[in-house]
Amino acid sequence: MSSGPSHRTPPASPAQKLHENQLQNAFATFDTAGDGWIPASKLRHVLTALNLPNDRAAVTELQAELDRHRTGRIEYPTYLRVLRSCLAARNPADELRSLFAMFDVTGAGRISVRDLERVASELDEAIPTAELQEMVDMADRDGDGLVDLDDFTLIMRKVGLL
């Protein structure tokens, strides 16, 4: 057994796991045959699903990078590499709103324990409901049992994710 430094990849942060989940879900939506590629013509829809700029210029620029050989296909490995960097380059305030929206799927402007359960399940994380309730209680400043964007922002700063 070697006593040298380990070259293992560090575990993904919660934000990285959410990004990966977003990327996989967006790709899978348009990879209807499950064969590892999506039509380049669906790029605008993918960008919309990822809450990334989807104007003509952004789509044209990304399409040139994602489909360099002009096959009309975007292969999954290329998609992952390019769009990971797009997600990582987002403005922190935009990123925070996007992250909040992933929990707040109803668009109500609040996150409930049920929302946290759904996200934990999507990430294959087995977190007891009592623990999720504790998280909500810790973040909820007005005592209504829900976390709004201000509460969310404060707790993300507190735990060092912002």
**pLDDT digit string, tens, across residues 105-138:** 888 999 999 999 998 888 778 999 999 999 999 9
Between 37-51, 65-79, 84-98, 148-162, the lowest mean confidence (pLDDT) is in 84-98
Three-class SS of the chain: CCCCCCCCCCCCCHHHHHHHHHHHHHHHHHCCCCCCEEEHHHHHHHHHHCCCCCCHHHHHHHHHHHCCCCCCEEEHHHHHHHHHHHHHCCCHHHHHHHHHHHHCCCCCCEECHHHHHHHHHHCCCCCCHHHHHHHHHHHCCCCCCCEEHHHHHHHHHHCCCC
Read off the pTM.
0.54
pLDDT band at 68 (very low <50, low <70, confident <90, very high): very high
Domains, the chain: 14-88 (1.10.238.10), 92-158 (1.10.238.10)
Instruction: Kindly tell me if the per-residue pLDDT of 12 is higher than 80.
Output: no
The pLDDT, as a whole number, for residue 134 is 95
